A and B are shown apart, each in its own frame.
Chain A
Amino acid sequence: MTTVVEQGLFYLSALLAIAGALGTVASKSAIRAAMSLLVAIFGITGLYVTLSAQLLAAIQVMVYAGAVVVLFVFVIMLLGGQPDVKSDNRSLKARAVGVGLFALSAIVAAVLVARAGIGGPHIFDAPRPEFGSVAALGKVMFTDGVVAFELVGVLLTAAIVGVMAVARTRNVKAAAKDKEVTQ
């Protein structure tokens, strides 16, 4: 790929990722935030492609765009539109403390990065032909990471059981009673 194409892909993806992230945290409505999250995820997918991590880019699209964002949208639709009440009861002092802590941590981070002395730009070497391929990543995942891989399966099973335990209705009568009380 030529330099112009890869630079264009990088800057477009970075712009999408950052704009999507800003849209996610700044949107008034949850559904707009979910759509912005989708934009951010596609931007990060483009960045993975420029880093020659093709398998991760595919997994990112499948898992995030295909599952996580759909789950978010599903829950937003299930819960209905929330009226955005402006009842923010945090005091001015609490806000000032928050902004101050944020500025302090930003300064500390900048000082630490400056002291570390990163040195000139780290230009990547050309990747090996099999870098990021399914075979290469699968090999490391089933040798060095095989225990973690199996444990991820256990984690996902536990998460599914946990979701069913948390979100199910205990019984119909109690649910009806709950509804009566809240209304």
Chain B
Amino acid sequence: MTSIPLEFYLIVAAVIFVIGACGFLARRNALIALMSIELMLNAVNLTLVGFNRWYGDHHVGQMFAFFIIAVAAAEAAVGLAIVVALFRLKRTVRTDSVDLLKY
């Protein structure tokens, strides 16, 4: 695979990261906010793998991406458990109805 330059991958990753960040900040559904976090982690992974392809004499970038996938899976599990506990308490998954610590 030598016909696509590195910059294209970085641009795609940046676009996905910005979409995920906007979704995380703007959406009020806790489940969709968690999915936006997954998008951002995936964008970071894509950047790491792209740079690892550029510095191709080792695999440290892919190793980091592997660890980030593991951390993302743990984060999704814990986040969804919190959403389930929240739903038990409040009967909603909207984050703007959870503001007890705000005041």
Sorting the interface of chain A by its residue count into under 10, 10 to 19, 20 to 34 or 35 or more gives 35 or more
Return chain A residues, CB-CB under 8 Å to B2: 123-126
Return chain B residues, CB-CB under 8 Å to A53: 49, 52-53, 62, 65
Contact code string A37-73 (vs B, CB < 8 Å = 1, else 0) = 1001100100110111101100110011001100110
Candidates B31, B59, B71; contact of A75 at CB < 8 Å: B31
Q: Which residues from chain A sit less than 8 Å from chain B, CB to CB?
A: 1, 3, 6-7, 10, 14, 17-18, 21-22, 24-27, 30, 33-34, 37, 40-41, 44, 47-48, 50-53, 55-56, 59-60, 63-64, 67-68, 71-72, 75-76, 78-79, 82, 85, 87-89, 98, 102, 118, 121-128, 131-132, 136-137, 139-141, 144-145, 148-149, 152, 155-156, 158-160, 162-163, 166-167, 169, 175, 178, 182
Return chain A residues, CB-CB under 8 Å to B1: 1, 6, 50-52, 124, 127
Instruction: Give A80's nearest chain B residue, CB to CB.
Output: B87
With contact pairs A33-B32, A75-B80, A152-B71 given, residues A21 and B19 touching in the complex (Cβ less than 8 Å): yes
Known: A25-B23, A44-B42, A145-B67. 8 other contacts (CB 8 A): A25-B27, A34-B35, A51-B52, A53-B49, A78-B84, A79-B93, A152-B67, A163-B80
With contact pairs A40-B39, A44-B42, A68-B73 given, residues A122 and B6 touching in the complex (Cβ less than 8 Å): yes
Q: Are A75 and B84 in contact (CB under 8 A)?
A: yes
Q: Are B69 and A60 in contact (CB under 8 A)?
A: yes
Return chain A residues, CB-CB under 8 Å to B72: 68
How far does the Cβ of A92 sit from chain B's closest Cβ, in whole Å? Answer: 15
Number of B residues near A (Cβ < 8 Å) is 71
